[in-house]
Amino acid sequence: MDSKSLYARALALMPGGVNSPLRACKYVNAEPVFIENAKGAYLWDVEGRKYIDYVFSWGPLLLGHQDPAVNAAAHEAVDHGSSYGAPCLGEVLLAEEISRIIPSMEMMRMVSSGTEATMSALRLARGYTGRNKFVKFIGNYHGHADAFLAAAGSAAGTVPGTPGVPEEVISHTLLAQYNDLDAVRKHFETSGDEIACVIVEPCAGNMGLVLPKEGFLQGLRDLCTQYGAVLIFDEVITGFRLAPGGAQERYGITPDLTTLGKIIGGGFPVGCYGGKREIMEHMAPVGGVFQAGTLSGNPVAMAAGLATLKRLQECDYPALEAKTKALTDELAAILRAKGKPVYVAQAGSAFTLYFSDAPVTNMAESGRCDQTTFGIYWKQMMAQGIYLAPAGFECAFTSFAHSDEDFEKTLAAARAVEF
Q: Which stretch binds ligand PMP (CB under 6 A): 109-117, 188-196, 278-286, 374-382?
A: 109-117
Map residues 217-246 to x or -, x wherever contact with ligand PMP holds by CB under 6 A.
Answer: -----------------x-xx---------
Among residues 27, 141, 273, 317, the one annotated as catalytic is 141
**Residue of 128, 227, 251, 262 with catalytic role:** 262
Given candidates 141, 251, 343, 355, which one binds ligand PMP under the rule CB under 6 A?
141
> Pseudo-torsion of CA 283, 288, 290, 292, nearest 10°?
60
Judged by CB under 6 A, the number of residues near ligand PMP is: 16
**Contact set for ligand PMP, span 55-74 (CB under 6 A):** 58
Name which of 206 and 356 has its Cβ closer to ligand PMP.
206
Backbone angles phi, psi at 93, to 5 degrees: -65, -45
Distance CA 161, CA 22 (A): 17
Rg (CA), the chain: 21
**Would you say 141 or 374 has its CB closer to ligand PMP?**
141
- Work out which of 23, 54, 105, 113 binds ligand PMP, going by CB under 6 A: 113
Closest to 260 measured CA to CA, from 147, 349, 143, 150: 143
Closest CA to 229 of 260, 266, 257: 257
298 is a site residue for ligand PMP (CB under 6 A): no
Our finding on whether 114 is near ligand PMP (CB under 6 A) is yes
Looking at residue 136, the DSSP 8-state letter turns out to be E
C-alpha distances in Å from residue 259, one per residue of 29, 102, 122:
33, 11, 10
In three-state secondary structure terms, 61 is coil
Side-chain half-sphere CA neighbours of 138 within 13 A = 15
At 134, phi and psi to the nearest 5? -155, 160
Shortest approach of ligand PMP to residue 385 CB, angstroms?
25
CB of 126 to ligand PMP, least distance (A): 18
Indicate the SS3 state at residue 84: coil
133 binds ligand PMP (CB under 6 A): no
291 binds ligand PMP (CB under 6 A): no
Q: How far apart are the first and last CA of the chain?
A: 32
Q: Is 137 in the site for ligand PMP (CB under 6 A)?
A: no
Instruction: Let me know if 141 is a catalytic residue.
Output: yes
> Which residues 248-287 are close enough to bind ligand PMP by CB under 6 A?
261, 271
Residue from 43, 41, 38, 37 nearest 62 by CA: 41
366 binding ligand PMP? (CB under 6 A)? no
Per CB under 6 A, 206 contacts ligand PMP = yes
Among all residues, which ones are annotated catalytic? 141, 234, 262
Q: Which residues bind ligand PMP (CB under 6 A)?
A: 58, 113-115, 118, 141-143, 201, 205-206, 234, 236-237, 261, 271
